[in-house]
Amino acid sequence: MTTGFRAPKGTNDILPPYSRDWLWLTRYASGVFQRSGYEYVDTPMFEQTEVFERGVGAGSEVVGKQMYTFDDMGGRSLTLRPEGTAPVMRAVLEHALDRGPLPVKLYYVGPFFRQERPQKGRFRQFFQLGIEAIGSDDPSIDAEVIEISWRLLNELDVKPRLLLNSIGHQDPTCRGAYLATLVAWLEDRADQMAPADTYRITANPLRTFDSKEEKTIALMETAPVITDHLCAACTEHFAAVRSLLDEIGVVYELAPRLVRGLDYYTRTAFEFVSGRLGSQDALGGGGRYDGLSESLGGPALPGIGFALGVDRILLASTDRDWTEPGPPHIYAVALGDAARRDVFNLVTELRRAVVRAEFDVMNRGMKGQMKEADRSGARWAAIVGDDELAKGEVTLKDLKSGEQEGVGRSNLIRVLHERHGNEAEAVSPGPGHGR
C-alpha cells in the first residue's frame, strides 16, 4: 500500500542495497583525502544568499537560475547551498583559519541543491565529495589536488577522461584582453550562433563555450582560445602544473575550450568526464579560485579544489565489488520458547564482541528462521534448542558448506573470529582495498 506521498521531484531516497555502495564510497574517499592531509569540514546546508551571489557570481547559471532561495521568519534571504566552495571559504574567513598554518586543507561530503530539470545523473538534491586547499598558489598544490581526484576515480574504476585548462586571471593583461578579443570575434559572427545564445556575448562571453546548441558548438570550434592569450605569469603557472602532472604520471587532455560553470575560477580548471553517463557526463570538476576570498570581503587568499558527484560516480561504476570484509556475520535460530529468550541474550553478547548477529522477531518457525538466515547473508547460523541449552552450547551451522557441529557457548566468540579471520585472508580484496 502506498500513501500517495512521493519524495520531491529530482530527489532520491538512498536505500539498501544501493546505500551500502554509497556509504562505502564516501568512507573510502574520506580515507583517500585524509591520507593527503585533508581534514573534515561540515558547513550549514543553507547560507546567506549573498555568499553565493558574491562568491559564485550572480551571472552564473547556478546562481541566476538554479538556487533554492527563501526568506526566513526574520526576513533574511537564505539559500540551500548549490555548491561547497563559497561556504568553505566563508567558514575559513569567519573563523580566521587563514591566520593559522597555511594551506588550510579541508574535505567535505554532503548534499547540495540545484533547481535543475531532473534527468539521468542530474538531480535537485545530489551529493558531492570535495576538497579545498586554501592559502597557496604554488603549482604543486594544483598538481596535488588534481592527482588526488584522478587517483580516486581511477581506483574506483570509473575510467574518466581528465580535461585540463587554464583560464587566466581577471586582469586587463590576461583574461580581460582575451574577453575583449572573444567578444569582438563573437559579435562579428552573431548570425552564426543559435539565437538562444546571443545574449551570452554581453552577459557572460566565456559561457558561449558551454552552449548545448549545435550551431553555437560548431562555431566555438574555431573561436580564439584563452590559452593563446594568457599573461606571462599564468602561462608559466600552467606550464609548471602540467610538468608536475607529467612527472607523477597523471594522464590529462588539454582542453582549451573548457570553461567551468561557476564564476570564481582563475588559472587551473579541470573536469572529469565519463562516456558512461550520457549527456550529464561530468563526474566532477574543480579549479583555482584566487579571487573568491576577496569577493566575500576577505584578504587576498588563493585556493584550489574540486568536487565529485557521488550520484554520478555510482552511475558510472557498473562493476562494483566494494563490500567491506566486515565482522563475522551470524544468524541465531531459536527452537522453542526458552531458546527464544536465550537467543536474545546470545545475540546481544555477540554484538558486544563485534560480531554481526541477527535473530527472528517475527515468531517464525525453524524453517522460516533458516530461510531468514540465508536471506540476511549470514555466513553461519547458531541453532539453539532445548538440547543445546542443556549442554551450554550452540549448533554452529556453516551456511556455505552445510556442515554443522556443537560449539561450547564460552568458545563461540573465539571460534567465530578465528574462522572469519581465516576466510578473510583467503578472499581477494575488492577494488581499492589495501591501497
Q: How far is the CB of 288 from ligand HAM (least distance, A)?
A: 8
Q: How far is the CB of 107 from ligand HAM (least distance, A)?
A: 10
Q: How far is the CB of 260 from ligand HAM (least distance, A)?
A: 6
Which of these, 245, 71, 64, 13, lies nearest to 147 by C-alpha position? 245
Of 130 and 168, nearer to ligand HAM (C-beta) is 130
Q: Do the beta carbons of residue 330 and residue 127 sit within 8 Å?
A: no
The footprint of ligand HAM (CB under 6 A) covers 83-85, 114, 116, 121-123, 126, 128, 130, 132, 261-262, 282-287, 289, 305-307, 309, 311-312
Q: How far is the CB of 369 from ligand HAM (least distance, A)?
A: 42
Give the separation between CA 311 and CA 71, rounded to whole angstroms: 29
Q: Do the beta carbons of residue 388 and residue 395 sit within 8 Å?
A: yes
The secondary structure of 260-314 as a DSSP string is -SSTT-EEEEEEEE-TTSTT--EEEEEEE-TTHHHHTT-----EEEEEEEHHHHH
Q: How far is the CB of 167 from ligand HAM (least distance, A)?
A: 13
Q: How far is the CB of 280 from ligand HAM (least distance, A)?
A: 7
Of 83 and 360, nearer to ligand HAM (C-beta) is 83
Angle between helices 232-247 and 139-155 (to 10 degrees): 40
Q: What is the CA radius of gyration of the chain?
A: 28
For residue 125, list its beta bridge partners.
113
**What cell does 183 get?**
567578444
Of 207 and 420, nearer to ligand HAM (C-beta) is 207
Q: Which residue is nearest to ligand HAM (CB)?
A: 309
Which of these, 68, 119, 107, 420, lies nearest to 286 by C-alpha position? 107
Phi, psi values for residue 244, rounded to 5°: -65, -40
Q: Which residues contact 272 (CB under 8 A, 6 or more apart)?
A: 149, 150, 153, 160, 161, 162, 163, 282, 283, 284, 285, 308
Phi, psi values for residue 179, rounded to 5°: -65, -40
Of 38 and 359, nearer to ligand HAM (C-beta) is 38
Of 86 and 330, nearer to ligand HAM (C-beta) is 86
Of 114 and 379, nearer to ligand HAM (C-beta) is 114
Of 205 and 284, nearer to ligand HAM (C-beta) is 284
Of 238 and 359, nearer to ligand HAM (C-beta) is 238
Q: Do the beta carbons of residue 304 and residue 145 sit within 8 Å?
A: yes
Q: Do the beta carbons of residue 254 and residue 165 sit within 8 Å?
A: yes
Q: How far is the CB of 27 from ligand HAM (least distance, A)?
A: 19
**What cell does 41 get?**
569540514
Q: How far is the CB of 388 from ligand HAM (least distance, A)?
A: 52
Of 135 and 328, nearer to ligand HAM (C-beta) is 135
Give the separation between CA 344 and CA 359, rounded to whole angstroms: 7
Of 201 and 273, nearer to ligand HAM (C-beta) is 273
Q: How far is the CB of 10 from ligand HAM (least distance, A)?
A: 8
Q: How far is the CB of 113 from ligand HAM (least distance, A)?
A: 9
Q: Do the beta carbons of residue 121 and residue 278 sit within 8 Å?
A: yes
What element of type H or E holds 433?
none
